[in-house]
């Protein structure tokens, strides 16, 4: 996979999001010659999730971060902070770390 064509996608994996936004986004990217990368692509349970996501981000020139579903859906449910956290990892890797 070429770095220049790779796009990390950070989004919720809820059924409605997958059908309404993720599938069209994947179609658009693939149709235009890009290689979408998701954290779900590696299923090695022995690999630390944070390391997996960091490696994928490092190998992508572009990224898309959807933060539309970060708050809890109901009372006493935790907010979904993994997506803003992954955005922070991406920002840090692209702007704060010597390459």
Give pLDDT, residue 86. 93
Cα–Cα–Cα angle for 47, 51, 73, rounded to 5 degrees = 95
Query: CB neighbours of 6 closer than 8 A, spacing ≥ 6?
Result: 34, 35, 37, 59, 60, 61, 62
Query: CB neighbours of 34 closer than 8 A, spacing ≥ 6?
Result: 5, 6, 7, 62
In the numeric block, the tokens 């950070």 are attached to: 10
Cβ atoms of 53 and 86 within 8 Å: the answer is yes
Is pLDDT of 69 > 80? no
Is pLDDT of 88 > 80? yes
Is pLDDT of 99 > 60? no
Q: What pTM does this model have?
A: 0.83
Mean pLDDT of 9-18: 87
Q: What is the pLDDT of residues 14-65, one digit of tens each?
A: 888 889 999 999 999 999 999 999 988 877 666 788 899 999 999 999 999 9
**Domain boundaries, given as residue ranges, for the chain:** 3-95
Give pLDDT, residue 4. 96
Is pLDDT of 85 > 70? yes
């Amino acid at each position: 996979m070429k770095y220049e064509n790779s796009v990390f996608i950070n989004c919720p994996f809820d059924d409605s999001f997958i059908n309404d936004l993720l599938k069209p986004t994947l179609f658009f990217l693939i149709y235009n010659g890009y290689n979408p990368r998701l954290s779900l692509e590696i299923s090695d349970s022995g690999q630390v999730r944070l390391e997996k996501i960091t490696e994928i981000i490092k190998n992508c020139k572009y990224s898309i971060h959807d933060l539309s579903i970060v708050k809890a859906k109901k009372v006493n449910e935790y907010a979904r902070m993994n997506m803003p956290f992954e955005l922070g990892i991406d920002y840090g890797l692209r702007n704060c770390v010597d390459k």
